[in-house]
A and B are shown apart, each in its own frame.
Chain A
Amino acid sequence: MNDNQHSTELGDAQNRDVDRFDDPGLPEHRHRRADSDPAADKRAERQVVVLFLISIIGTVASIVAYFVFRPDGTTDGVRISTLTLGLGMAFALLGIGLAAVHWAKTLMNDTEVTEERHEQRTPDAEREIAVQKLSDGAADSGIARRGVLKGAALSALAIFPLTIAVPLVSSVGGDWNVSKFRHTRWDKGTRLAIDPTGRPIKAADVTIGSVFHVIPDATEEERESHAWITEKAKAVVLVVRLDPRDLKEAEDRKDWSYDGIVAYSKICTHVGCPVALYEQQTHHLLCPCHQSTFDIADGAKVVFGPAKRPLPQLPIAVDDEGYLVAKSDFHEPVGPSYWERLK
């Protein structure tokens, strides 16, 4: 076929009215083997019976498993108990489901039936009856006559949604207070303590290459309290000691570290995951959520990833007994950005 012929044929096809075609109706009914062959019918019946039997066996197995494999507290005990119970129940339900579907597909009547839709619009006579009933009811209730009753009913309905709306709106209002993000539990003289045991840290204990996960020193009572979890979530700090020769420090932050020991907030400035994957050899600190990477040797500046700001640094010093203490709170809000952050 050459190109010329090809285009002519295409043109013909477009000229024909292809959008309209006759209703082909239902395809011719095709009989299943089970409809005509008694052997196939028997076979299908047997298959359905077997599927139901599988379900029965599953149920029995599940009950037997319940009594035989009691979870004894060990990992293996729990696993074998849940596994056998679950498998028994799975086969019990799957057997019923598969049997029912197979039964319907192979043995039940599958002749196609067409049911015409009825007219969607209700006849006018019936519509009039309905309207009449409604207006009769309204007249009977006397709502047009009894003005006070009408007002009371409407008011009751109108104010009911307040029971849901007021607590909702009010609790939204509580969260607009963002000043709490500006401060953490750290203060001048707060000792640095090990998370989660709460032992205070001596500067001499922080050897080069080690990393300490740090919380503010607090009484056991405070650490057990409900409020602690929010305080801890803001205040967690990572302390590492670098060789002072590796450490690059900004001029105004020279006195924020102590003999190579630096402390940085553990909350990622991207979306607030705990940044805690510290690579000792590269001094890089990785965030597990989006792979932001901070260079601890260089003011925790971002070297990779979606974070935009360096991690806030906690100024530290050493007290008379040799313990590490904070010199003040963080000088900027920790964690991800928010609109009022710099106000």
Chain B
Amino acid sequence: MKALAARRHHRLAPVVLLLLALLATGGLYALLAPSPASADSASTQDIETGEKLFQANCATCHGPSATGTDDVPSLVGVGAAAVDFQVSSGRMPMQSNGPQAIRKPAQFDAEQTAQLAAYVASLGTGPTVPTDEQVDPALGDPATGAAVFRTNCAMCHNAVGAGGALSEGKFAPSLLEADVTDRQIYEAMQTGPQSMPVFNDANITPEEKRDVIAYIEEQRDGSAGGLSLGSLGPVSEGLWAWVVGLGLLIGAAVWIGAKSS
């Protein structure tokens, strides 16, 4: 203890303290965080709780009967999958108006999300939340997934799913972020959130959707070639080659040409 006290003025002490505090907070959260509730079947009670949640959090924009306005989409018939996607990815409730709703930490836990989904699903039939088996990458074929992804997704989401720009501040988000779940990828294809078109089961069959998920999961391993530089292609690779590569070469040339002291 004495040794510790003696070093409390060491210049690295704040860093060590900060690390310890972060570790303690993270550890406590892992221990005490509520485990996600499984809510597969929607009971009448779920729908009622969901309606209360809806009235409290969503009705301001989507209207008390969820029919929307000119600027806000109606939620009748969008189905549980759309609600699960938007709410679990934190896009809804929307924080502020902008070119598009962006991903942020989810405001509701899994149980509340399921209740909201149950309520919206009760307003009109729409796509349901996929089962764990439907989104299991181990059951999909990444090679077929790559072919489907290349034709349908790669132009916006980039060949490896790193995301890309659209018009007027909109963008196709990266699919490689750690918090993008396989279920959200499936739901996005099924419901076509925001700028994204819908890829219904006739267009990309449920099996092909699972293949796409398997392909994206393969991309999470990163590139076998080393630094991916954001997988953005010639722009970032060119910048790297011109600045770092040429810089090193020029440095070497200057060193070779300089007279030794």
Contact mask A59-98 → B, CB, 8 Å, 1/0?
A: 0000000000000001110110011000000000000000
Q: Which residues from 207 to 249 on chain B have a C-beta closer than 8 Å to any C-beta of chain A?
A: 208, 218, 221-226
Contacts of A212 in B (CB 8 A): 203
Docked Cα-Cα span, A206 to B221, in Å, equals 35
Docked Cα-Cα span, A211 to B170, in Å, equals 19
Contact mask A32-75 → B, CB, 8 Å, 1/0?
A: 11100000000000000000000000000000000000000011
How many residues on A have C-beta within 8 angstroms of the other chain's C-beta atoms? 45
Q: Is B96 positioned at the interface, with any CB of A under 8 Å from its CB?
A: no
Docked Cα-Cα span, A277 to B172, in Å, equals 10
B203 & A196 in contact (Cβ 8 Å cutoff): no
- One of A2-10, A221-229, A279-287, A311-319 contacting the partner: A279-287
B contact face: mostly helix, strand, loop, or mixed: loop
Contacts of B259 in A (CB 8 A): 30, 32, 105, 110
Docked Cα-Cα span, A32 to B260, in Å, equals 7
Q: Is A335 positioned at the interface, with any CB of B under 8 Å from its CB?
A: no
Q: Which residues from 193 to 217 on chain A have a C-beta closer than 8 Å to any C-beta of chain B?
A: 194-197, 201-202, 205-213
Binding site for A on B (CB under 8 A): 147-148, 151-152, 155-156, 164, 166-167, 170, 172, 192, 194-200, 202-203, 208, 218, 221-226, 255-256, 259-261
Binding site for B on A (CB under 8 A): 30, 32-34, 74-76, 78-79, 82-83, 101, 105-106, 110, 194-197, 201-202, 205-213, 240, 274, 276-282, 284, 286, 288, 291, 293, 304
30 A–B contacts from the bound complex (CB under 8 Å): A32-B259, A32-B260, A34-B260, A74-B221, A75-B221, A82-B224, A82-B225, A83-B226, A105-B259, A105-B260, A195-B151, A196-B147, A197-B208, A201-B202, A205-B200, A205-B203, A207-B198, A208-B198, A209-B192, A210-B197, A210-B199, A210-B203, A211-B203, A212-B203, A213-B151, A213-B152, A274-B155, A280-B192, A281-B194, A286-B167
The 5 closest A-B pairs by CB, nearest first: A205-B202, A211-B197, A75-B221, A78-B224, A210-B198
